[in-house]
Chains A and B, each alone.
Chain A
């Protein structure tokens, strides 16, 4: 029962394709046993794109992808994240070219934010939806984003931005000839 005495443990995380080994407990600790994943991403790894708003799992600001699914990083203990593959908003852009994800570009094109604090969480929920379902209906989008709150009430702009990204994605997935034929 040595491990009950809270001696040093290592947590391996893959964040945006990059591997990290973090030490929990002991004098050389990177992370305390009480730290949430949101805290570790922001304060230990410097990935401040993930936001913490309510810190109680109700607002969705801290949403990140864990194995492609939208989860609340404020409600996960880092010590329980060993071996997880995490994507934050910083991981959406192309790591080589720096080109924004089409969803991000669409949010810019549709001004789908005001203060922007909830935007990273909304982007990650939207990304999780599109990974599972590249052609969602408006109702699917509303359902997938129902756990993300925006106090500036940009929800309508967000729906337009996601829908536009879906349509652009569908169009680019179609051969140029058939696109011309449809016009």
Chain B
């Protein structure tokens, strides 16, 4: 691992100022479950020159309800979401998604902010420098996307632009289905709010140097909704999603007032399956509707050479998730 300067930040403002000053050569660390791998594999041509530890920043690990929204501090661990009674009662989708991440140890260490901001798992992007030298790619600003002509079995089937790595965050998928926003702190004390799905740009996060996630705000549905998170992985624990789906249905007897269906593992950002939502919205929902929603969810998918299988998995997961919402 290359050496770096290490600072333990006492406050979010201090961390933002330090990282802003480092101008893109600094990295924030919280749980470390993503960053340590990135550092050990030396996947970036340079740096980081500065690591800022956020773990001593107080007041950013709470999960609380204020009015009609739930506020989750960026330093809240995935394990704390998993065992939160408040979330279990108000936003069970988030509990399911948090539990789907990694292993018990990873959930004990990993934070909400880190899960949302982790680097992609594309095996070209992540290629370890010590095995035959560095591998450049479009996402690193060094050459074309190697997945286009290479082995793209774990890459996207929707919305890739230049880079076809998929958003690796399970929480992002669930939070998008819940209509959540993230509150971003800037170096000059500023705050700005973006929808969770808008954190993800085609080849990077929308965060500028010196910007850090402060908290996530999730609206609590006015009426209780049926929520299901499903994740297909090669092996059950540890793994990242091949495809995941977050479904939230606002049921009205046999009908459905509104629906949100979001796919993970298929796109650089959480993918709203708007056509599937259209199928579900308004009318009665049964097993046939669930199957039609599955079909609609994958309409317009553009598979590459090795990843067309993801379309079948996405279709089936959406159907199962909707059916689970009917049974719930």
Residues of A within 8 A of B (CB): 3-6, 32-34, 36, 55-58, 60, 63, 69-72, 74-77, 79-80, 82, 125, 143-144, 146-148
A72 touches B3 (CB 8 A): no
A144–B103 CA distance with the chains assembled, in angstroms: 9
Chain B contacts for A56, CB-based, 8 A: 36-37, 40
Partner among A32, A75, A80, A143 whose Cβ is within 8 Å of the Cβ of B3: A32
Quick check: B104 and A147 within 8 Å, CB to CB? yes
Please, how many angstroms separate the alpha-carbon atoms of A79 and B103 in the complex?
24
The reply to whether A72 and B104 contact each other, CB–CB distance below 8 Å, is no
B29 interface hit (Cβ, 8 Å):
yes
Given known contacts A33-B5, A57-B105, A75-B31, what 16 new A-B pairs fall within 8 Å (CB)?
A3-B7, A4-B7, A58-B103, A69-B108, A70-B104, A74-B36, A75-B32, A76-B32, A76-B109, A77-B36, A77-B51, A77-B53, A79-B6, A125-B105, A143-B104, A147-B237
Contact status A6-B5, CB under 8 Å = yes
Please determine whether A70 and B108 come into contact, CB atoms closer than 8 angstroms. yes
**Nearest B residue to A34, CB-CB:** B1
Smallest CB gap from B54: residue in A: A80
Q: Is the CB of A60 within 8 A of B103?
A: yes
Q: How far is the CA of A146 from the CA of B6 in the complex (A)?
A: 33
Are A70's CB and B105's CB within 8 A?
yes
B86 at the interface (CB under 8 A from A): no
CB distance from A123 to the nearest CB of B (A): 14
B140 within 8 A of A: no
Distance in angstroms between the alpha carbons of A5 and B7 in the assembled complex: 9
B106 adjacent to A77 (CB under 8 Å): no
Which has the most chain A C-beta neighbours within 10 Å: B5, B104, B109?
B104
Q: Contact partner of B4 among A5, A33, A143, A144, CB < 8 A?
A: A33
Q: Which residues of A contact B4 (CB under 8 A)?
A: 33-34
Known: A74-B36, A76-B32. A34 touches B3 (CB 8 A): yes
- In the complex, whether B33 has a CB less than 8 A from a CB of chain A is yes
Q: Chain A: interface secondary structure?
A: mixed
Q: Would B104 and A57 count as touching, CB distance under 8 A?
A: no
What residues on B are CB-neighbors of A147 within 8 Å? 102-106, 237-238
B2 CB–A CB distance under 8 Å:
yes
* A57–B55 alpha-carbon span in the complex (Å): 18
A76–B103 alpha-carbon span in the complex (Å): 16
* Most interface-central of A33, A72, A76 (chain B CB within 10 A): A72
A57 near B36 with CB under 8 A, answer yes
Smallest CB-CB separation from B237: which chain A residue? A146
Q: Across the interface, which residues of A come within 8 angstroms of B50, CB to CB?
A: 4
- Are A125 and B104 in contact, with the CB atoms below 8 A? yes
Chain B residues whose C-beta falls within 8 Å of the C-beta of A146 in the assembled complex = 103-104, 236-237
Residue in A36, A58, A60, A75 whose CB lies within 8 Å of B109: A75
Q: Which of A5, A36, A57, A82 is B106 in contact with, Cβ under 8 Å?
A: A57
The reply on B8 being an interface residue by CB < 8 A is: yes
Task: Please name 26 pairs of A and B residues whose Cβ atoms are closer than 8 Å in the assembled complex, sorted by A.
Answer: A5-B5, A32-B3, A34-B1, A34-B39, A36-B36, A55-B40, A56-B40, A57-B33, A57-B105, A71-B109, A74-B36, A75-B32, A75-B36, A75-B109, A76-B109, A77-B6, A77-B29, A77-B51, A77-B53, A80-B32, A80-B55, A125-B104, A146-B103, A146-B104, A146-B236, A148-B103
- Verify if B97 is at the interface (C-beta below 8 Å from A): no
Residue B18 is within 8 A (CB to CB) of chain A in the complex: yes
Residues of B within 8 A of A34 (CB): 1-4, 39
Closest chain-A Cβ to B43's Cβ sits at a distance in Å of 12
Compute how far the CA of A95 lies from the CA of B106 in the bound complex, rounded to whole angstroms.
Answer: 30
Contacts of A75 in B (CB 8 A): 31-33, 36-37, 109
Establish whether residues A71 and B108, one from each chain, have CB atoms under 8 Å apart when the complex forms.
yes
Minimum CB–CB distance from B37 to chain A (whole Å) comes to 5
Cα A75 to Cα B104 in complex, Å, equals 14
Considering residues B6, B53, B236, which has the most beta carbons from chain A within 10 angstroms of its beta carbon?
Answer: B6
Partner of A80, one of B8, B18, B102, B103: B8
A144 & B33 in contact (Cβ 8 Å cutoff): no
Shortest 8 CB-CB contacts between residues of A and residues of B: A147-B103, A146-B237, A34-B1, A75-B36, A6-B5, A147-B105, A75-B32, A56-B37
Question: Which residues of chain B have C-beta atoms less than 8 A from A36's C-beta?
Answer: 36
Q: Identify which of B2, B39, B105 contacts A60 (C-beta below 8 A).
A: B105
